[in-house]
Structure formats: C-alpha cells, structure tokens
Homo-oligomer: A and B are copies of this chain.
Amino acid sequence: MDTKEIAIKLSKKGLRVTPQRIAILSAIIKLDNHPTAENILEYINKEHPNISLGTVYKVLDSFIEANLLNKVKTESGKMRYDPLLTNHHHLYCGKTHRIVDYEDEKLDGLLLEYFNKKRIRNFKIQDIKLQITGTFKN
C-alpha cells in the first residue's frame, strides 16, 4: 500500500494527513506483526528520525478513535496494534510472542449457533474472541 492510498484512508476517516500519520499507518501495515508503539517508532525512525514516541501514541489513539486500528492486550501488559478490521481471532505463540491473525468464518458460525441455543443467564453477548495459545512449529 503506497503513500497515496494511505493518505486517502486517513482522509476518508476525517483525519488530517500528516507525514507522521502516513509513516505510522504504513509501518503497522508493513510490519504485519501487531507491533508495539516502540516497534513502530524503531521502524519509522530509519526514515523519520525526528518523530517522537509521544506522537506515536497520540497518532495511535486517533487511529483507534477513527476505527483504523484495534488494541491487542498481551501477557506482558504492553499494548499492540492490529490493523485487521474484519472479525478475527488470535494465535499467541508462547515461545516467540508472535501474534498471528486467525480468520475462520465456519468457527464463527459454529459459535454463533451454539450461543443462540445456549444462552448465558443475564448476559447479552456482543462479541466473542478466541485467544489460542500454543507454538508455531517451524
């Protein structure tokens, strides 16, 4: 995804287009690794040595506000950022702490069906996310 496309994405969400925002959103998409704020800063500092960590956080917040990203909570308590907006789950690698998206419509259907039948007392479900922990084999 090139600069122009990113700029359009920002505009469409009513966000001002700045070099910082373009760099940060590009980084998250390119890294494709659910990076932390720190990871993003490291990556963009190669090309934009002047962007500060504070700005990264502020930009990330504005992206979340605008529904361009979601936060992912981790074992360590550090937040990571996920640009995949469609419904999905996560695979957590216990060894490398890699987080990989897991999309599975059939599974979602199964869960939907299950919870349509078996209601939970006094609870209205909005969303179900699976945290699948394990290890990658290669």
Chain A residues packing against B (C-beta within 8 Å): 73-75, 77, 79, 91, 93-94, 100, 102, 104, 106-107, 110, 114, 118, 120, 122-138
Q: Which of B91, B104, B131 contacts A129 (CB 8 A)?
A: B131
* Residues on the B chain within 8 Å of A107, using CB: 114, 118
Do the beta carbons of A129 and B126 come within 8 Å of each other? no
Given known contacts A110-B110, A114-B107, A131-B129, is B124 in contact with A138 (CB within 8 Å)? no
Q: Which of B73, B104, B133 contacts A77 (CB 8 A)?
A: B73
- The smallest C-beta distance from A110 to any residue of chain B, in angstroms, reads 6
Do the beta carbons of A123 and B73 come within 8 Å of each other? no
